[in-house]
Amino acid sequence: MRLKGKVAVVTGAASGIGRAIAVRFAAEGASVVLGDVSEGGREAAESIRSAGGEALFVQADLRREAEASGLVRAAMERYGQLDVLANNAGVSGGRTVVEADESDWERIMDLNLKGAWYCCKHAIPLMIASGGGSIVNISSTHAFRTQPNHFPYQSSKAGMIAMAAGICVDFGKHGIRANSICPGFIETPLAEAFLSQFADRDRRTQAMLASHPLGRFGKPEDVAAAAVFLASDDASFISGTRLVVDGGRSALQKSD
């Protein structure tokens, strides 16, 4: 019950990492507001309540500032405070810097980075009024160790790390902490869609597994466990940093 008495907003909470974070936050005692553009978030909230947790679903398109503001305000209106914001909503994909066009940039940046900014912009005053809080940005190892054809995705994820650092510096005096989690390859619906595009999926999967010293891919619950730590008082002196959750992949330098 490390989050008992806290109120948390989780974006992109209908499935994958976001849903795992919302479920884990609730299990740790938090009242959770789940935000997602998909109606699947409603079912996720109902599942939390069925398990004895406290949850509210708010449908929101975070590319629109008014909807992002409404999402975080809903936490204050329902529960009277806001203590934790987990910025998880995002899309992947991309091209090279040369091949990408303005629509690629806007599609990814508008949700991954601008949506997270909107949520932070409107959540921080509510957190200050609540006596402080913790912001957890779900970035990616692509922010510092990327692959071909991932622009502007990797730029959006690097921006999330930089934004958390700026929040740490600007609002630490108000009791606001901000950190980033950088997941590696996590078994989510997006990851499944990525693998399914390859005719030689089995060979590619085995090659990817060989790059993980722990011998497995990550699960959404692995990221959720890290998010609980950073959101909780156990991390009360941790701010402005990044936590890599990738099974050791970024530490491995292949000999061949």
Which of 172, 186, 199 shows the shortest CA–CA distance to 140? Answer: 186
Annotated catalytic residue: which of 79, 118, 153, 185?
A: 153
Alpha-carbon torsion, ordered 141, 145, 147, 150, to 10 deg: 60
Cβ-proximal residues to 52 (8 Å cutoff; 6+ apart), any chain: none
Whether omega for the bond prior to residue 152 falls within 30 degrees of 0, making it cis, is: yes
Element (H, E) at 86: strand 84-87
Whether the Cβ atoms of residue 72 and residue 120 lie closer than 8 Å to each other: no
Q: Which long-range contacts (CB under 8 A, 24 or more apart) does 166-173 make?
A: 167/120, 167/124, 167/135, 168/239, 168/240, 169/240, 171/124, 171/128, 172/239, 172/240
Q: Establish whether 118 is a catalytic residue.
A: no
Whole-angstrom CA distances from 81 to 68, 130, 222 are 17, 5, 27
Catalytically annotated residues: 153
